[in-house]
Structure 1
Amino acid sequence: MRDMSRRLLPSLSLCLLALGVAVSATQPSAPRQLRIIAFGAHPDDAELKAAGVASLWAAAGHKVKFVAATNGDIGHFSQAGGPLAIRRYKEVQECARIMGITTDVLDIHDGELEPNLEYRRMFARKIREWQADIVMGHRPYDYHPDHRYVGVLLNDTAVVVGAAFFVPDTPPTQGNPIYLNYSDNFVDPKPFEPNVIVDIDASAEKKWACVSAMPSQFGDADSWQGRTRPDVPKDDAKRPAYLLELAKQRSAAVADQYRAQLIARYGQERGSKVKYAEAFQLNQYGRQVKPDALSEMFPK
C-alpha cells in the first residue's frame, strides 16, 4: 500500500499543478497600474479640466501627477509675485490631497511660458521622471499664450521622452506615452474632437471641493473672474458659490455637448443621466491606440 502511495503521489502532484495552471489561466489578470501626468498652464487649469477623472483614477489605485507649468503669480488683481505664487501653490496642494494625487508647480512666471528648448527639457524631465503611460494637457489652440505653449511643448516632447540621450539625467520612458488633450471650445484652426468622454458624477464632489479650495481664483473679489465678469456678485458671501456654480456648468456643458458619446460608452440608461463629464482627445503625436483600448484605460 505504501509503495502504491509513493507511485501515485507524483501523478497527483502533476494533476494538481495542471489544475492550478488551468484555473489561473481562466482568472482575469489584475489591471495594470497606470501612471498619468497632466499639465496645466496655471495652478487651477489641470484641476478644472481633469480633476474628476484624476480622482477616479486615484481611487482605482493608479498614480496621477498634476503639473502647473507656471506659478500663477499674476493671476489676481490685488496680489502678485511671491505671495500669490505661494498662495496658489498651497491651494493646489490642498486639491491634490482631496483628489489623492501629487502636484508640482514649476517656477516659471505666469504669462512667461515660451516654447523653447529649456522648457521642452523641463517638461520632458517631468514626464520621464514620472515614467508616464499617459500625458495630458491643453491643445495648442487657445486664447492664452501659456495654454497654447503647454500644448506646443507637449507636442515637442512626444518623440524625445523616449530618446536615451535627450535630458540623459533622467531615464527615457518605456515606449511612447499616449498623449491626450483637454476639451475646449476653440474652432480655429480645428475644433476639439473627443475620443473619450468620462462620467465624473461619482467624483464630482471632490472636483467641487477642489474648486472651493482655490479662493484666489474662485472666491476673491479681486480674483480673475471676480474682476473680469460683470455678473459675479460683489457680496463676499455669495461670490464663492456663484463662481463654483460656473465651474459646475462647464462640466455639465461637456456632458450635454457629448451626450451621444456618453450613451455609446455607458449605455442609454446611464449615459442619458450623466450630469458632469470630462472629455479628452487623442493627440496625433503620442502613441496611437484603438478606441476600445483607450477607453479601457479610463474609469468607467
Structure 2
Amino acid sequence: MTVFPEGTRVNRVLAFAAHPDDIDFGAAGTLAKWCAQGAEVSYCIMTDGGAGGFDPGDRDGVTALRSSEQRAAADIVGAGEIHFLGEKDGFLAANHEVVGRVVELIRQVRPDVVLAMHPERNWSRIQASHPDHLACGEIVTRAVYPAVENPFAYPELAARGLEAFKVPWLWFYGAPRERENHAVDITAELDRKLAAIRVHASQHPDLEGMDRSVRGFLQENAQRHSLPAGTSAEVFHVVGVNTPATIAGF
C-alpha cells in the first residue's frame, strides 16, 4: 500500500536526523533520486554527534570530524545546505525551544516533503530506536503540525517575515514495519547510497560487514513490499499533512 501518488513532483526537501550518518542509512537513496530529478535537498542534523565513534583519545575532535563526514556524504547524494543544530548527543529532547528552531527552519525552506526519523519505538529492533532518534521524530512532528502552519505559534518568527506554511508531506524513515506504507526502488541509486554511508568511517569499524548488512536490508525491503526480484528499496511511513486527500481543522 502507498499513500504517495505516483508522479507527484517533489521540488524541495528538508531531511532531519538526530546524528550524522542517520540520513544516509535511512534515506540517502531516495534523496539521491530526488536530487537527480532536480529537487533541492537540505539536511538538518540535530545533535553534535559528540558521543559517537570508537577512539577514546580524541573526543574533542569527534564533532568536527562527523560534521565533515556528513558534508562529504551529502555531496555524494547531491544535497545542498546542511544545518547543524548542535544539541548534545544523547540528550536531544522535544522541548519548545528546539521545536521553535525546527519551525523556523521549515518556514525558511518551505519544503514539499519533510523527512524525519520515526517517533515510535521499534520493539523488533530496538537499536533503531535510539532516544535521540525518537526525539527527532517527535520534535519534527510537533513542528509540522500545528506549529509551522499556525500563524499564532511562535509569533516572533512571523514578526521577522517567516510566515506560516502548510507542509504537504511528512515522510518518516526507520519506522516499525507495521507503519511502513511506501517503498522507493533505489536500485539505480544503491552505489551512491553505499558510498555516502562509507564516508562515515569513524562510526563503522567493519565497513565491508556494514556494506553487506545494508545490501541485505534493502533487498529484504524490496521483497517485503513486492518489488521485482533483485531490486533494493528504502521504506517509509508517509503521512499526508496538507494534500488534496486530507481534511484540516479538526
- Check whether TM > 0.5: yes
Choose between structure 1 and 2: higher strand proportion. Answer: 2
Give the Cα separation in 2 of the matches to 1:152 and 1:33.
24
Q: 2:71 aligns with which of 80, 88, 93?
A: 93
Structure 2 unmatched ranges of 5 or more: 1-7, 122-128
The CA deviation at 1:134 is 0.9
Q: What is the one-letter code of the residue matched to 1:276?
A: S
Residue number in structure 2 paired with 1:249: 216
Structure 1 unmatched ranges of 5 or more: 1-30, 221-238, 260-270, 292-300
Identity of aligned residues (%): 26
Give the Cα separation in 2 of the matches to 1:289 and 1:41.
31
The CA deviation at 1:173 is 4.9
Whether 1:197 aligns to 2:188 is no
Q: Kindly indicate whether the alpha-carbon contact (under 8 Å) linking 1:125 and 1:170 is maintained by their aligned counterparts in 2.
A: no
Q: Kindly indicate whether the alpha-carbon contact (under 8 Å) linking 1:38 and 1:136 is maintained by their aligned counterparts in 2.
A: yes
Q: Kindly indicate whether the alpha-carbon contact (under 8 Å) linking 2:108 and 2:162 is maintained by their aligned counterparts in 1.
A: yes
Q: 1:109 aligns with which of 79, 88, 97?
A: 88
Runs of 4+ in 1 over 4 A off after TM superposition: 288-291
Choose between structure 1 and 2: higher helix proportion. Answer: 1
What's the CA shift string for 1:41-88, capped at 9, x where partnerless? 111111111100100100110111121111211012324644111111
Give the Cα separation in 2 of the matches to 1:170 and 1:89.
30
- Aligned Cα root-mean-square deviation (Å): 2.2
Residue number in structure 1 paired with 2:147: 160
What's the CA shift string for 1:136-177, capped at 9, x where partnerless? 112211331111111111111121112335233352354333
Give the Cα separation in 2 of the matches to 1:173 and 1:252.
40
- TM-score w.r.t. structure 1 length? 0.69
Residue number in structure 2 paired with 1:208: 194
Larger Rg: 1
Residue number in structure 2 paired with 1:50: 27
Residue number in structure 2 paired with 1:138: 117
Q: 1:173 to 1:247 in 2, by over 3 A?
A: farther
The CA deviation at 1:206 is 0.5
